[in-house]
Amino acid sequence: MKALLRTATLALLIAVPVAAYSQTISIRIGTVAPADSPWYEVINRMGQDWKKASNGRVDVHIFPGGVLGDENEMLRKVKLGQLQGVGLSGVGLARIAPGIGALQLPMLVNSFEDLDRVRNGMEPRLKSAMEKGGFKVVNFSDVGWVHFFTKAKARTPTDLKKLRLFINADDPDSEKLYLDLGFKPVPLGVTDLLTSLKTGLIDAFDVPPLFALSDQSFGVANHMIDVKWAPLIGATIIDNKVWDRIPAALRPELERIAEASGVSLRSQIRASGDQAIAKMKQHDLIIETPTATEMAEWRAMAKTARDKLRDRGIVPAADFDEAILLGIDPLSGVWSGDWGPNATSRNQVRIEMKWDGRAVKGVLHSVNPQRTDASLQNSNFAPATGEFHFEASIKAPPGGADVRYVVDGKLINGSITGAWVSGTNKADFKLSK
């Protein structure tokens, strides 16, 4: 039935070429996400709002549920002009721009907050790489945390290496990586996963929990290892040639709408992983939680895997190295210290900071003498060098002029030291957490 539906849909695409929509720019977007999923809704909301913002000149048509094939097939259809966009997972995105893999390094990050920081910091260069590959990224999204599911009890990499592990047949790099790590990978098509579990061809697979719930594969492999192996990200991409046909004055607004659509459903998508686990537990899913010693084994294997990804160029070295730097946040938190022109004239200050991978937001508090709090402005942090910059305007007492500070420092060994300038005044400072 699904094959028949694909054939009918493809015939419709061929029969109605893009040129037929003479009054509109028709953007046909394919995705493997089901029509009742939040990932579909991200594209759907975007399309509806694009049509309104363009007064009907940009018209989005969505083909969900993989009716046009898997991600590789849909990318081929873009080249043929049968599709103009695709909602892809990080696996498909990395085939266009390998640097995308830096967002999905095994066990580099363990929270969405950390993932956001890495993605925010890398987003400009990754979008540029995707454009060189022929696509405009209009929004990024999350798919979920990848976990290992097994038919028999398993908690450690050693346990998992005894099992036959599903690997996507279109991903030879991952197959080679798992072989080198001592696993028994079995390359198969995604659509063959459930059948292969039932027939005993494979014993384990790694997917986000929502996927295991949606295709009911957890019913056969009902043990889930409680390790966030890696985040799987996604994005909506549009063929550059089609994006360039949109009037230049309209593109910024469409970009804003697309980004807002992704953000509006981000919380729901992120919550769906835990909700899927809770639902599967009601149907006999067993959570296997590693001990502290076993977690150390997982972290050691993850580091080996990350190093191999870099050494083999699967993830370009420059992208890999930047992700490693962004994966650690040495800046966010509350810093206290003093500043002043000399040893006998010092002001006590406290600064609350939050680094999102690109900008630093926060508040400067003058503790002694006490003055009005000031927000950090024009702030930035370079993790590779530790260099830190911000500006702030502190309101003076009634009748006085505001005092503007320009601050430059460097983070070294847990302390920030540097100097500030205010008009003709100069001083040094030192802060610590």
8 Å CB contact between 339 and 356: no
Residue 187 CA, chain-centre distance (Å), reads 25
Query: How would CATH label the architecture of 333-432?
Result: Beta Barrel (2.40)
Residue 57: CA atoms inside 13 Å, Cβ hemisphere, count? 12
Q: Lowest-pLDDT range, 1-15, 144-158, 197-211, 375-389?
A: 1-15
Q: Where are the beta strands (DSSP E) in 178-327?
A: 184-188, 204-207, 223-225, 230-239, 286-288
Task: Tell me which of 166-170, 176-180, 345-349 is least confident.
Answer: 166-170
As a whole-number percent, the residues of the chain with pLDDT over 90 amount to: 81
3-state secondary structure of 269: helix
Determine the angle formed by the axes of helices 317-326 and 112-132, rounding to 10 degrees: 160
- Cβ-Cβ contacts under 8 Å for 201 (sequence gap 6 or more): 164, 186, 188
Q: Which CATH architecture has domain 2-145+231-272?
A: 3-Layer(aba) Sandwich (3.40)
Output the pLDDT for position 344.
Answer: 87
Q: Given this model, what pLDDT does residue 397 score?
A: 67
Q: Is the peptide bond before 369 cis (omega within 30 degrees of 0)?
A: yes
Query: What DSSP string runs through 322-370?
Result: HHHHHTS-SS-EEEEEEEEEETTEEEEEEEEEEE-SSBEEEEEEEEETT
Rounded-to-5 percentages of helix, strand, coil across the chain? 40, 30, 30
The mean predicted confidence, pLDDT, of the chain is: 92
pLDDT above 50 for 239: yes
CB burial of residue 292 (10 Å; 0-12, 13-18, 19+): exposed
Q: Is the pLDDT of residue 1 over 80?
A: no
Mean pLDDT across the stretch 135-163? 97
* CB count in 10 Å sphere of residue 268: 12
Task: Report d(CA 243, CA 261) in Å as an integer.
Answer: 18
pLDDT at residue 68, as a whole number: 93
Amino acid at residue number 20:
A
Check pLDDT > 80 for residue 175.
yes
Over the range 21-35, which residues count as b (16 or more CB within 10 Å of their CB) and which as e? eeeebbbbbbbbbee
The tokens describing 243, both together, are 């994006």
Among 26-30, 143-147, 264-268, the range scoring the smallest mean pLDDT is: 264-268
- Per DSSP bridges, beta strands 377-382 and 387-394 are antiparallel
The hierarchical CATH code for the domain 147-229+289-326 is: 3.40.190.170
Look up tokens 């900008």; give the residue.
359
Look at 127 and 24; give whichever has higher pLDDT: 127
pLDDT exceeds cutoff 60 at 12: no
DSSP, residue by residue, 89-155: EHHHHHHH-GGGGGGG-TTS--SHHHHHHHHHHHHHHHHHHHHHTTEEEEEEEEEEEEEEEESS---
CATH 3.40.190.170 residue spans of the chain? 2-145+231-272, 147-229+289-326
Mean pLDDT calculated for residue range 193-221 = 95
How far apart CA 98 and CA 83 sit, in angstroms, is: 22
Q: What are phi and psi of 411, to 5 degrees?
A: -90, 115
Q: What is the pLDDT of residues 73-99, one digit of tens each?
A: 999 999 999 999 999 999 899 999 999
Q: Identify whether the C-beta of residue 224 lies closer than 8 Å to the C-beta of residue 277.
A: yes
Residue 157 amino acid letter? P
Residue 24 confidence (pLDDT) above 90: no
Range(s) for CATH 2.40.128.120 in the chain?
333-432
- Return d(Cα 86, Cα 75) in angstroms, integer: 7
User: Rounded CA gap, 66 and 34, in Å?
Assistant: 8
With a cut of 70, say whether residue 398 has pLDDT above it: no
Reported pTM: 0.88
